[in-house]
Amino acid sequence: MKQQTYADYIRDHYGFDGEGEVTDFMTRRDGQLLLGGRVNLTELARAHGAPLEVVYTPQITTQVRRMQRWAEQARAQSAYGGRFLYAYATKANFAAEAVQTALQAGAHYETSAAADVIVAHTLFRQGVLPADRLICCNGSKEPNYLEAIRALRADGCERLIPVLDDLAELEALVDTPQPLLLGVRERAAGNRDGTHPGNDRFGLTGAEIEAAAARIAGTRHQLVLYHAMIGSQVEDAAHFLATLRDSVAAYCRLRRKVPTLRYFNFGGGMPTSGYSLGFAFDYQGFLAQLMATIRDTCAAYDVPEPDLIGEFGRYTVATHSVLLLEVGATKQGQPGQPDWYLVNGSMMVSTPDAILVDGQEFVILPLEGWDRPVRPARLAGRRTCDSDDVYPRPHRAPLQLPELGEGLVLAVCGVGAYQQMISGRGGAHHCLSPEPARVIISERDGRLVSRYVPQQDQATIMRLLGYQPTSMPADWPVAPARTPVAPAPRPLRVAPVTVGAGGIVRRRTHRRPARTGRVALAGD
């Protein structure tokens, strides 16, 4: 009997015949995986080695504009009278390239802490965050968060909306000289169905919302927004809408008393394709049902349909980054258990949600070996000695991967949201595992432009921890060895170069060995 290949496995389980769209962000063409249908991951691995993070910001633009298009279609389908506003929940990924790309695509801005408002203030002053965008400030507000809000408003930002999480926040803001637009967050929505413990600590009770509305009515400020956050990700659309219906009714009752109320923020929760090859979700259908639910409830209370705000974090950025990891060694599993693929990196550092979120999965695809026999395997990080540095978790089924072993390069998808924010950027990580090199690809005037960020070096990590790396012998390595597939490069200073007619403009602003190989567009 013919042994099943990896290509056979993918076809049998996911209906993918080996060529074409693997997911809505990954394509396979001529045996090569292309991120966004344009960036050849194999060529990047050959040029830069692994581990390597590939950041493709045009995917963020695609995500935002897809949702905006689905929302417009849903508005037409449901005859909804209000507008739909897309907000990026920046806590998912604070990196400048992610935030700025989302803003350029038309997203509004959602903050969760003082530092986030300071970033917004900087972008507002630079003109990157346009004056017509809403800035919704969620979360519990410490004094520095409140002061950051006041400073941004004093600087002329009129579309700033502090969303009250406690009545004390209102008292701290009420004497702000400039008129404020204010919001309230409904506490009941946080865990109305009993499935989101921990989420019920946010927001105001119904009585507190009434008190806040009465207090605001006697000031120069306006109550304009009602926020009801059901959960972090929609898993059951019908259940989500049924749970949200009570919040919409509460909005309507408040709207009858407060005519300035005009935004209903249903929070985040749109699922993303970065975590499952079998993913399917009817975004337009969900939005049409959401709008119809709000339309009908508003009609029953005889109030105008509000403008809807959706806050999208994971959905916006999860699929724009891919981590390339190389299998450095294999180790036979215990009897009856799958073998270990030991990767040159750390799963705990690169994908912390795999440990923090029970059942968290990531789409993992091999760059080569699709014609090789498939076998069960688990990944383990070689740069820690921690029993938790494995994926999938021991109680979950193993991965099915090509029987190639050492040298196999894997694309770990869905890492663009939260993973780097939880692990941190530029710090000292678990077991001092260094951050991988990074290639950041953006689009300018229809052309792709790349920027290379080298792997974090050991000397920097040691300085963060108080060591004096200059005392080490000069011939000691300061970073773990990397294994580029390409021939050894020769040192030179690289000037800006345009690759091909429609290729990538590659720029480096620091002196370092140049990597050979091309980062090419599909078909370039």
Q: Provide the residue-wise pLDDT of the chain in tens; the chain has 524 residues.
A: 578 999 999 999 998 888 899 999 999 999 999 999 999 999 999 999 999 999 999 999 999 999 999 999 999 999 999 999 999 999 889 899 999 999 999 999 999 999 999 999 999 999 999 999 999 999 999 999 999 999 999 999 999 999 999 999 999 999 999 999 999 999 877 666 666 666 677 889 999 999 999 999 989 999 999 999 876 566 677 888 888 899 999 999 999 999 999 999 998 778 888 878 888 889 999 999 999 999 999 999 999 999 999 999 889 998 999 999 999 888 888 888 888 898 887 766 666 556 556 666 778 999 999 999 999 998 887 767 766 777 777 778 899 999 988 899 999 998 876 657 556 676 666 666 777 888 999 999 889 999 998 887 888 878 877 888 665 555 555 444 444 444 333 322 222 322 333 333 333 333 333 343 344 444 44
- Name the burial class of residue 367, with classes exposed (0-12), middle (13-18) and buried (19+) by CB atoms within 10 angstroms of its CB: buried
**For 396-436, where are the E strands, in sequence order?**
399-402, 409-412
Residue whose C-alpha is closest to residue 94's, from 403, 340, 316: 316
Domain ranges of the chain: 6-58+319-513, 132-312
Q: Which residues contact 487 (CB under 8 A, 6 or more apart)?
A: 516
What's the length of the chain? 524
**The predicted structure's pLDDT at residue 221:** 98
Q: DSSP letter for 186, please.
A: B
d(CA 12, CA 106): 40
Q: Which residues pair with 492 in a beta bridge?
A: 512
Report whether 252 contacts 299 (CB < 8 A): no
Task: Please state the pTM of the whole predicted model.
Answer: 0.85
Residue with tokens 């991965």: 399
Report whether 273 contacts 23 (CB < 8 A): yes
d(CA 468, CA 446): 46
* CA–CA–CA angle 8, 13, 18 (5° rounding): 45
d(CA 98, CA 100): 6
3-state class (DSSP) for residue 40: strand
- Name the burial class of residue 524, with classes exposed (0-12), middle (13-18) and buried (19+) by CB atoms within 10 angstroms of its CB: middle
**The predicted structure's pLDDT at residue 395:** 78
Most distant pair of Cα atoms in the chain: their distance: 81
Distance, C-alpha 369 to centroid of its chain: 29
Q: At 187, list the tokens.
A: 């506490």
Task: Please give the torsion angle defined by the CA atoms of residues 268, 269, 275 and 277, in that order, rounded to the nearest 10 degrees.
Answer: -120
CATH fit for domain 6-58+319-513, picks 2.40.37.10, 1.10.150.670, 3.30.70.141, 3.40.50.11810: 2.40.37.10
25-44: string of b/e by CB count within 10 Å (b at 16+)? Answer: bbbbeeeebbbbbbbbbbbb
**The predicted structure's pLDDT at residue 463:** 82
**The predicted structure's pLDDT at residue 280:** 86
The arrangement of secondary structure in 132-312, i.e. its CATH architecture, is Alpha-Beta Barrel (3.20)
Q: At 139, list the tokens.
A: 């979360």
**The predicted structure's pLDDT at residue 58:** 97
Report whether 3 contacts 373 (CB < 8 A): yes
